[in-house]
Amino acid sequence: MSRKCFLLLGEILFLSFRKKLDYVRRQWQLIFPGVSSSQIESNLRKVFRHLALSLLEVILIKYKKEKALYFLIEKVRGAEFLQRAFQEGKGVVLVSAHLGNWELLAAWLGYHNYPVEVVYRDLIPPLVNNFMKSCRSVYRTGWIQWNKINEVRKALRQGKAVAILVDQKGEGKGMNCPFMGITTLSPTIHARLARLFGCPVIPAFITRKDEKLKHEIVFLPPFFTPLSQNRKYDIFSAVALCNQIIEVFIRQFPTQWLWFTRRWNIKNPSESKFEQRFSF
């Protein structure tokens, strides 16, 4: 399969959806004030090209497995933080974002025999969901639906890592917290779990090198949710720190982040159906 063909697919998808991306443009203007409209259009085009390449890479992993993975992952930094955390035996909360090709990060963890359970949501539409399930079946990681909290707790009790993407808007027990400089509802599950089990939180990210099929994985030093008599403040502190870390990577690689969810409160009901297609 040709990289150029999938870049062309990205161009076609951009042209197909560009009229439905007004709320994405408003989000970009909100976070990067002063950026010209032409630059935003160029960036959105790159987002679609990146997603198309990510699709190609997932297909390669499905059919070529380790051979493709070792070709795609060019460099890994900070894996020693993860190894030390596992040695403590308290479980690990791995946090990441819809940045780079996060599917490759899950596959790398599985093929390197880390005991990891990935928390996920079913995708829309079902056809896409079924395709991704077939691809993920070769990753060698476990998978737990986002609402199966007892299974998540069980994994941590067993000393496993639980991997959670925490960059989208929080639901249920979400908390208002600054993200990209703007206060918005943020997920708290990672902070609550880390506080409950006393386990470390390790941020992990994967980023693409230009528009090549090459990636770098970075594991950052662990942090812990504070444990004081003020539980709400403890959780807020951990969520705020995690948001700040994610922000650094998004600002460095803005065209590799999934902008298609309504992360901030910019309302336009007519666009909600398009947004749901990209809810991961």
Given a contact cutoff of 8 angstroms between Cβ atoms, the answer to whether 152 and 144 are in contact is: yes
Number of domains comprising the chain: 1
pLDDT in tens, 153-186: 999 999 999 999 999 987 667 999 999 999 999 9
* Predicted pLDDT of residue 267: 60
* Predicted pLDDT of residue 177: 95
Give 271's pLDDT tier (boundaries 50, 70, 90).
Answer: very low
Q: Between 262 and 237, where is the model more confident?
A: 237
Give 210's pLDDT tier (boundaries 50, 70, 90).
Answer: very high
User: DSSP state, 78?
Assistant: -
How far is CA 210 from its chain centroid? 19
Which residues have C-beta within 8 Å of that of residue 38, sequence separation ≥ 6? Answer: none
Percent of the chain beyond pLDDT 70?
94
* Predicted pLDDT of residue 268: 56
Q: Give the integer Cα–Cα distance in Å for 116 and 151.
A: 12
* Predicted pLDDT of residue 272: 44
- C-alpha dihedral sign at 149, 103, 19, 264: positive
**Amino acid letter for position 101:** N
* Predicted pLDDT of residue 184: 94
Q: What is the DSSP string of 128-175?
A: HHHHHHHHHTTS--EEEETT-HHHHHHHHHTT-EEEEE--SPP-SS-E
Q: Between 265 and 190, where is the model more confident?
A: 190
User: What is the H or E stretch that residue 207 is in?
Assistant: strand 201-208
* Predicted pLDDT of residue 173: 75
pLDDT in tens, 98-146: 999 999 999 999 999 999 999 999 988 899 999 999 999 999 999 999 9
Give yes or no for residue 279 having a pLDDT over 70: no
Beta partners for residue 143, in sequence order? 118
Give yes or no for residue 254 having a pLDDT over 90: yes
Given a contact cutoff of 8 angstroms between Cβ atoms, the answer to whether 223 and 200 are in contact is: yes
Which 3 state secondary structure label does DSSP give 210?
coil
Percent of the chain beyond pLDDT 90?
89
pLDDT in tens, 129-140: 999 999 999 999
| Residues spanned by the domain of 111 | 3-276
Which 3 state secondary structure label does DSSP give 29?
helix
Mean pLDDT of the chain: 93
pTM of the model: 0.92
Give 54's pLDDT tier (boundaries 50, 70, 90).
Answer: very high
| Interval 254-277 mean pLDDT | 71
